[in-house]
């Protein structure tokens, strides 16, 4: 360090301590870059990162899961099926859900049950699985398959182990042993059947192009029933042998009071798709796109509709009466009250 002295004055010599400090500082500054580089090389060669694994259980209903079908298992439990072959169970609409083991990874479209122990689910690629122990274990059935398409869209159960399933390529399948074996009840055809209803020995199926077909003899013979629409019908339900409702795309709701000989289109403000309909003791209820929920009087003539806003991203493919309300499944699981204004 240069020292400045007044003109003509002699400068005193630097103290030894200051001189040593100055030399050490220069040395330290000169070696710091080498120390930093050496430390980085040592860390890269000899120090390895340690990863501590923590098991985080997946959410029961994960982001992107769709619950397409729901049914009541006995008097107290619910069972739902959906994305990637997943199966869920709950003790009620407001209770938490638990996952059940599934033998498949293919999306399941619908489920129905006979009692607290026996249930059947159907889905993509013609998959049918059944349980005999309330959902604890499931086994795969081997139904007839088409070379064209095999997605099964709806299943209904009836007494004495009877079940009907419908789907693409005209699939209409019947089982009489709690879903273990299946036979074709109709030949393959170029139509997708989306819904089925069983009323004793009377069977209705609904599908594309406004199609309705009816059997009065448990599926041995079939009769086409004419409807006033050309769009797809997605579901059908009857409250007795003659009074029924069918719902479908573009807000379609059809009613019949003569077993389907004639179908009447009900005009609603809703123009979005309906996917399911049920008879609920004293009224009809239907659900669909954009949060649609419609209810009517016992005759299916006067309908009230909520939902249907473009901002509503919810859609529901199944509605089930449970307790004092309705359980809805689809893009979301929703519990709603039976009454609204």
Sheet containing strand 293-296, edge to edge, reads 274-279, 284-288, 293-296, 303-306
Look at residue 118 in the predicted model and tell me its pLDDT: 98
Domain ranges in the chain? 67-336
pLDDT in tens, 232-290: 999 999 999 999 999 999 999 999 999 999 999 998 888 899 999 999 988 999 999 99
* Phi (first) and psi of residue 246, to 5 degrees: -120, 140
pLDDT, greater one: 45 or 129: 129
Distance CA 12, CA 251 (A): 104
Look at residue 2 in the predicted model and tell me its pLDDT: 44
pTM for the whole thing?
0.82
Distance CA 89, CA 79 (A): 4
pLDDT in tens, 223-234: 999 999 999 999
Look at residue 83 in the predicted model and tell me its pLDDT: 96
pLDDT, greater one: 168 or 325: 168
Look at residue 23 in the predicted model and tell me its pLDDT: 56
For residue 97, with 0-12 CB atoms within 10 Å meaning exposed, 13-18 middle and 19 or more buried, which class applies? middle
Given a cut of 60, is residue 24 above it in pLDDT? no
* Phi (first) and psi of residue 24, to 5 degrees: -65, -40
Look at residue 51 in the predicted model and tell me its pLDDT: 39
Instruction: Report the chain's C-alpha Rg in angstroms.
Output: 34
Candidate CATH numbers 2.40.50.100, 3.30.200.20, 2.130.10.10, 3.10.105.10; the one for domain 67-336 = 2.130.10.10
pLDDT, greater one: 32 or 120: 120
**Number of other CB atoms surrounding residue 223 within 10 Å:** 11
Look at residue 148 in the predicted model and tell me its pLDDT: 95
Read off the pLDDT band of 22 (50, 70, 90).
low
Read off the pLDDT band of 39 (50, 70, 90).
low
């Amino acid at each position: 360090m240069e020292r400045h002295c007044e003109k003509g004055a002699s400068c005193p010599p630097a103290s030894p301590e200051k001189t040593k400090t100055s030399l050490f500082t220069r040395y330290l500054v000169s070696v710091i870059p080498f120390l930093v580089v050496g430390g980085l090389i040592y860390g890269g060669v000899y120090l390895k990162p340690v990863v501590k694994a923590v098991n985080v259980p997946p959410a029961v209903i994960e982001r992107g899961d769709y619950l397409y079908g729901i049914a009541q298992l006995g008097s107290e439990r619910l069972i739902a099926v959906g994305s990637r072959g997943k199966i869920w169970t709950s003790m009620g609409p407001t209770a938490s859900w638990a996952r059940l083991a599934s033998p498949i990874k293919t999306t399941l479209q619908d489920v129905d049950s006979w009692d607290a122990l026996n249930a059947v689910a159907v889905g993509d690629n013609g998959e049918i699985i059944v349980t005999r122990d309330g959902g604890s274990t499931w086994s795969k059935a081997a139904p007839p398959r088409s070379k064209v398409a095999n997605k099964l869209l709806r299943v209904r159960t009836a007494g004495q182990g009877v079940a009907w399933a419908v789907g693409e390529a005209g699939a209409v399948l019947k089982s009489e042993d709690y879903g273990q074996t299946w036979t074709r009840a109709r030949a393959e055809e170029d139509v997708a059947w989306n819904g089925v209803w069983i009323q004793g020995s009377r069977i209705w199926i609904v599908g594309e192009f406004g199609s309705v077909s009816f059997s009065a003899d448990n599926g041995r013979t079939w009769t086409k029933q004419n409807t006033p629409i050309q769009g797809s019908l997605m579901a059908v339900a009857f409250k007795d042998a003659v009074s029924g409702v069918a719902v479908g795309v573009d807000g379609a709701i059809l009613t019949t009071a003569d077993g389907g000989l004639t179908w009447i289109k009900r005009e609603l403000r809703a123009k979005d798709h309906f996917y399911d309909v049920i008879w609920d003791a004293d009224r009809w209820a239907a659900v669909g796109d954009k949060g649609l929920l419609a209810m009517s009087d016992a005759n299916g003539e006067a309908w009230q509709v909520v939902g249907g806003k473009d901002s509503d991203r919810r859609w529901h493919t199944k509605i089930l009466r449970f307790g004092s309300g309705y359980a809805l499944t689809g893009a979301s699981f929703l519990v709603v009250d039976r009454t609204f204004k």
